[in-house]
Amino acid sequence: MYVAPSILSADFGNLKAEIEAICEAGCDLIHVDVMDGHFVPNLTIGPVVVNAVAKAATKPLDIHLMVENNTFFADLFLPLKPKFLTFHIEEEKHPLRLIDHIRKNGVSPGIVLNPHTPINSLEYIINEVDMVLLMSVNPGFGGQSFMPQVIEKTRALREMIDKKNAKCLIEVDGGINGLNAPDLEEAGADILVAGNYIFSSNSYEQAIRAIKLEF
């Protein structure tokens, strides 16, 4: 199981030290939530700050776009060379074109589904992406409650991936903690994002280990 701390819950007044601390604590990726105030009712960070994050990080970035104009924002963040760049299927008329564009820039493309979006929308996309991100909260804010129906959705997506012989990873994002992580792992998740659970803990290392089910 890979763990991607969401820096939305980090102390932004102390961002460099926070990034260094989660990298040292054993995270696998750094999850960066980009919100535009239109697709979601919150506004976060742009490429200037994310570039500072990338410089402080010893782990690759996983950039999650929650925006209306995906191509515009993708072009702002692709030069930072994240490992993954993911965008919402609900907000993209030409997802296959954007997936191709991201890959041609040397970045792994991923697609994100809101909690209400069915996985059958992925039927003709699943073999083209490196990751599917299932939202387990309504996007926009850290610290919300996990929606348990995403456990079954994860299981169904795992079946779809196996049936179609696709290579993509499953990431789940929102309300994840040491208690729901075992169910998600059992259902077939590969990467778990956690913001509030890690950054509000006394020990980032122990929180990451709890999600990885290492005790």
Residue 33 engages ligand DX5 in binding (rule: CB under 6 A): yes
| One of 18, 28, 33, 171 touching Zn ion (CB under 5 A) | 33
Sign of CA dihedral 90, 94, 100, 105: negative
Q: What is the smallest separation between the CB atom of 71 and Zn ion, expressed in angstroms?
A: 19
Closest CA to 59 of 86, 22, 87: 22
Residue 62 engages ligand DX5 in binding (rule: CB under 6 A): no
Residues contributing to the annotated binding site for substrate: 6, 64, 140-143, 173-175
Residue 107 to residue 109: CA distance in whole angstroms: 6
- Extended beta strands in the chain, E state: 2-5, 30-35, 61-66, 84-88, 108-113, 131-135, 169-173, 191-194
Q: How many residues does the chain have?
A: 215
| Active-site annotation holds for 173 | yes
Quick note: the x/- pattern for Zn ion over 117-156, rule CB under 5 A, is: ----------------------------------------
Residues contributing to the annotated binding site: 6, 31, 33, 64, 140-143, 173-175
| Active-site annotation holds for 33 | yes
For residue 143, give the DSSP letter: S
Residue 36 to residue 39: CA distance in whole angstroms: 7
Q: Which of 33, 62, 130, 190 is catalytic?
A: 33
| One of 71, 144, 201, 206 touching ligand DX5 (CB under 6 A) | 144
Cα–Cα distances in Å, from 137 out to 11, 68, 140? Answer: 22, 19, 9
Residue 64 engages Zn ion in binding (rule: CB under 5 A): yes
Residue 82 engages ligand DX5 in binding (rule: CB under 6 A): no
Residue 78 engages ligand DX5 in binding (rule: CB under 6 A): no
Residue 86 to residue 132: CA distance in whole angstroms: 8
Residue 194 engages ligand DX5 in binding (rule: CB under 6 A): yes
**Which spans of this chain sit near ligand DX5 (rule: CB under 6 A)?**
6, 8-9, 31, 33, 64, 137, 139-140, 142-144, 173-176, 193-197
